[in-house]
Structure 1
Amino acid sequence: MTSRRSGVRRSLVLAMTVSTVVLVGCGPEDENSGLTSDSTSTRATSSTPLPKAEDVADLGTLTIQARPFPDFALADGDTVWVSGVEPGLVGYDAGTGDVRAEVAMGDVPLAMDQGFGSLWAGEGVAGVIATLVRIDPATSTVTARVPMPDAGLRPESSLAVTEDAVWALVDGADAESRLLVAVDPATNEVRETFPAPRAAEALRGGFGSLWVATSHQKVVRVDPDDGSTQATVDTGYGSRFMAVGDDAVWVMNQDDGTVSRIDPETDAVVATVQVSTGRIPGGDIAIGDDAVWVRTEAELATAVDPRTNEVVRVLGPPAGSGSIAVTEGAVWVTAHDQFVIHRVPTA
């Protein structure tokens, strides 16, 4: 969910007594991949012009002021968790927007995940995302801090939950040396590591696999038992953030402003949807009951109808970059350059 004009996130370390600005990279690397795809498909690409943007100010939107840098959002039942809000991570009531939980912690410059009765986040201090943090959402307490390998978690990536592990992407000296790290939720310790696919950028778990988006127009389906490649799927340029639904994996392609829909039964892209009129230098993606929502930058957000694979709503006005989460009857949008969180009714 990168922000700044150069395509680099402005990341703020939230320390207990002092705040330090940390710059981290987010832009895609060389887009020429050496991987060979083992899946092909005829992609249905949506070329319909986007609908006219609806001004969120006219939709009964609740706008919450948040400092210093409202960033990644994650919906967990009746709570929406937002990183980058003092004292580190804040849980908002999904219906009212009231603060219902606060967790003091460092910077969280990558997408969170939930599983095994816990909220999981990568925590950075002084520019190194050295720790995987486990949080009990019922008590808003940190129950474990798991040290990561020396290089630390990759910024602007994401965590993933599979059947018996929590996964993180650890940075390396180059695109070839990144690692997939599996943490055992029973022991809160690193269980094993595997080499990550080349130019790996983000992770999600689903359909018995670990899905790894790369900046080289590929999503690699990985066997979580041994780290082997189960399939390689051609996507769009700058693939990064993903969301897993009941019957598909949705991948946001930052460089061409599209979303790829992957059918896990065939390991093929069955639709490519143009969700923005420009690049998405940051952004995020989340799934609701009746729409896939994408946080864009040329717009504020767009909604894709999974029945038709077409954009059915556009929210505006633009507000830089940020994240997105979906709850019952509302979509939550962070705008870290404007220091606000919007709760926009959708019903």
Structure 2
Amino acid sequence: MAFTSAHAADHADKVLDVPGFADFLAVDGTTVWVTNRGRVEHWSRDGKLGAVAMAHPCGAMTIAAGSLWVADCENRTLNRIDLKTTKLTNSIPTGIANPAGELIVAAGAGSIWIASNEKGEIARVDPASNSVTDKIAVDPGTYYLAFGFGSLWAVSATQNSVQQIDPETNSVVSTAPLGRQPGFLAAGAGGVWVQEQGDGTVARIDPDTGQVAGRIKVDETLKYGDIDTGGGKVWLRTTAGQTFAVIDPETMEVSARIGPEAGSGALRYTPSGIWTSEHDRHTLSWWSTPATPSD
């Protein structure tokens, strides 16, 4: 399945029925973790491997230090799940900036990062001590985080800004204006890529300057998908016209639109394929890349 032209694939190679509200994803080797109502689940392409009960798992998760890190919007904690035992090992009272659930937990510079206060604060968590070691002042409404190019990148949904944070000083070193309703972001493929959901665009942030270096028009809006990088491409989960789109960072154009409309959900890249969730349809899908045949 080559992702090289518009609508190159009409359907996923594997579709798993996931009752509830399967949403945010984190890749763990050949398997994937998924947030659901009252639990976080572990899935392979052959079925569910396990689940961990949680009050209200929310937002995009991250894997680091042998653990899955996931926000709990009801208890306003950062929860740690051991990947080997599938057990909740720690619940850290960080606070949650957006209890509605739209946020990203990030990992980098030996730390876990989570937007912890709506007024403008990011908590830095040390996985060795399972404690908050620093709190960083940022723009109000900062919910979305990504780590890459030696910096933490933070998007404010209310101030329409992207902020570059130096992990050495725990301070904002640059700020750039964004378009309408900025949201999820990913660092890789030569830039930091931010969904401007209200404008239907993806902005490329130059990691050297921290400023917007270009934009790609994708749809009228991008509500309310997800974004990832890998294999030299940018992968964009969308809600109109296709399941996800592929962006070529060299040409700054959409190079493929994959699958039918599937409502809202998440996306994660792996070297052998793409995972997408479709929470309105209660499914989890696997899309193979040319390097790996369908199974």
- For the criterion TM > 0.5, the same-fold answer is yes
Q: Does the 8 Å contact 1:204/1:212 carry over to 2?
A: yes
Q: Does the 8 Å contact 1:63/1:340 carry over to 2?
A: yes
Q: Does the 8 Å contact 1:89/1:105 carry over to 2?
A: yes
- How does 1:1-347 map onto structure 2 within 5 Å? 52-54=6-8, 56-57=10-11, 61-84=13-36, 88-93=39-44, 96-124=45-73, 128-149=74-95, 155-172=101-118, 177-215=119-157, 216-245=159-188, 247-275=190-218, 277-298=219-240, 299-347=242-290
TM-score (norm 2): 0.88
Q: Does the 8 Å contact 2:96/2:115 carry over to 1?
A: no
Q: Does the 8 Å contact 2:70/2:105 carry over to 1?
A: yes
C-alpha displacement of 1:306: 2.4
Structure 1: distance between partners of 2:133 and 2:98:
16
C-alpha displacement of 1:198: 2.9
Cα distance, 1:255–1:197 mapped onto 2, change above 3 Å: same
Question: Which amino acid in 2 is paired with 1:198?
Answer: P
Structure 1: distance between partners of 2:100 and 2:138:
12
Structure 2: distance between partners of 1:61 and 1:278:
28
Structure 2: distance between partners of 1:61 and 1:107:
30
Structure 2: distance between partners of 1:279 and 1:293:
16
Structure 1: distance between partners of 2:173 and 2:120:
19
The SS at the match of 1:109 is strand
C-alpha displacement of 1:129: 4.5
C-alpha displacement of 1:151: 7.1
Question: Which amino acid in 2 is paired with 1:221?
Answer: Q
Question: Which amino acid in 2 is paired with 1:200?
Answer: T
- Indicate the RMSD between aligned Cα atoms, in angstroms: 2.3
Structure 2: distance between partners of 1:73 and 1:150:
19
Structure 1: distance between partners of 2:146 and 2:194:
10
Structure 1: distance between partners of 2:226 and 2:280:
15
Higher relative contact order (CA 8 A, sep 6+): 1
Q: Deviations over 1:70-111 (max 9, x none)?
A: 1001212222111116x7122222xx3433343222322211
Question: Which amino acid in 1 is paired with 2:7?
Answer: A
C-alpha displacement of 1:258: 1.2
Q: Deviations over 1:36-57 (max 9, x none)?
A: xxxxxxxxxxxxxxx6435533
C-alpha displacement of 1:343: 1.0
Gaps of 5+ in 2: 291-295
C-alpha displacement of 1:293: 0.8
Structure 2: distance between partners of 1:219 and 1:164:
22
Q: Does the 8 Å contact 2:77/2:96 carry over to 1?
A: no
C-alpha displacement of 1:69: 0.3
C-alpha displacement of 1:341: 1.2
TM-score (norm 1): 0.75
Question: Which amino acid in 2 is paired with 1:189?
Answer: S
Cα distance, 1:70–1:293 mapped onto 2, change above 3 Å: same
Q: Deviations over 1:288-338 (max 9, x none)?
A: 214211111113210112232211110231121110011233211111111
Question: Which amino acid in 2 is paired with 1:123?
Answer: D
The structure richer in strand per residue is 2
Question: Which amino acid in 2 is paired with 1:142?
Answer: L
C-alpha displacement of 1:282: 1.4
Structure 2: distance between partners of 1:56 and 1:346:
14
Structure 2: distance between partners of 1:67 and 1:195:
39
Structure 1: distance between partners of 2:176 and 2:187:
15
Gaps of 5+ in 1: 1-50
Q: Does the 8 Å contact 1:129/1:153 carry over to 2?
A: no
